[in-house]
A and B are shown apart, each in its own frame.
Chain A
Amino acid sequence: DAGVIQSPRHEVTEMGQEVTLRCKPISGHDYLFWYRQTMMRGLELLIYFNNNVPIDDSGMPEDRFSAKMPNASFSTLKIQPSEPRDSAVYFCASSLSTNYEQYFGPGTRLTVT
């Protein structure tokens, strides 16, 4: 398996623009997680899905953030409008419910200017 795939790897955008991050989980995994990592706040869980259904989005910072999982092999995290404080590395991870071992993608480094 190719592991968790994220795109793009790097994104630079201007404040106010819409940003869409993409994730393809490991085939067969039934959990998908979105995290944000910054120096100041560390690794924060934003939202996670089980069998494509959002279970807990309490970590989503505000209404500008939204996430979808239209099928078992694809998820998006959208920020609209983006702000400089959204600059961070965004990770997607997937796991099985049998052991909850999370496998992370390479991350997307987002810079909002």
Chain B
Amino acid sequence: AQTVTQSQPEMSVQEAETVTLSCTYDTSESDYYLFWYKQPPSRQMILVIRQEAYKQQNATENRFSVNFQKAAKSFSLKISDSQLGDAAMYFCAYIYMNRDDKIIFGKGTRLHILP
């Protein structure tokens, strides 16, 4: 069965520093999507970044980038130049939409930004 694991319930980083949030997943499929979502205290779920499994190139969105290791089933999120507004809960998500659809979110990592 597919699973998504975020092993770090909480993390802290100094403002302007770089932090990496980890996510591992388990699947027997080869063509799927991976996402990172951010949920600030306002509780709004915000899409941060998307990675298609068939793409070898790691996705990047401004200060956010991923390290996608398909063989290792690892999908970490790197936040560069951390800002106070980055403080939030971050969720990793796996989506496989085919004959046996699976949509699975991890339990989340709470990120604190230290001024």
Listed in ascending order, the chain A residues whose CB lies under 8 Å from chain B are: 33, 42-43, 45, 48, 55-56, 89, 91, 93, 97, 99-104, 106-107
A-B Cβ contacts below 8 A, count:
37
- Interface class of chain B by DSSP: strand
- Nearest chain A residue, comparing its CB with the CB of B108: A42
Q: Are B43 and A102 in touch, CB under 8 angstroms?
A: no
Report, as a range, how many residues of chain B touch the other chain: 10 to 19
Q: Which of B11-19, B22-30, B44-52, B70-78 lies at the interface? A: B44-52
Shortest C-beta distance, B40 to chain A (Å), equals 12
Q: Are A106 and B43 in touch, CB under 8 angstroms?
A: yes
Contacts of B44 in A (CB 8 A): 104, 106-107
* B105 interfacial by beta-carbon distance below 8 Å: yes
Partner of B45 from A48, A56, A91, A99 at Cβ < 8 Å: A91
Q: Are B50 and A48 in touch, CB under 8 angstroms?
A: no
Contacts of B37 in A (CB 8 A): 104
Q: Are A43 and B105 in touch, CB under 8 angstroms?
A: yes
Shortest C-beta distance, B75 to chain A (Å), equals 15
Q: Are B103 and A45 in touch, CB under 8 angstroms?
A: yes
Q: Are A48 and B105 in touch, CB under 8 angstroms?
A: no
* B95 interfacial by beta-carbon distance below 8 Å: yes
Q: Are A97 and B97 in touch, CB under 8 angstroms?
A: yes
Contacts of B105 in A (CB 8 A): 42-43, 45
* B90 interfacial by beta-carbon distance below 8 Å: no
Q: Are A33 and B35 in touch, CB under 8 angstroms?
A: no
Q: Are B50 and A101 in touch, CB under 8 angstroms?
A: yes
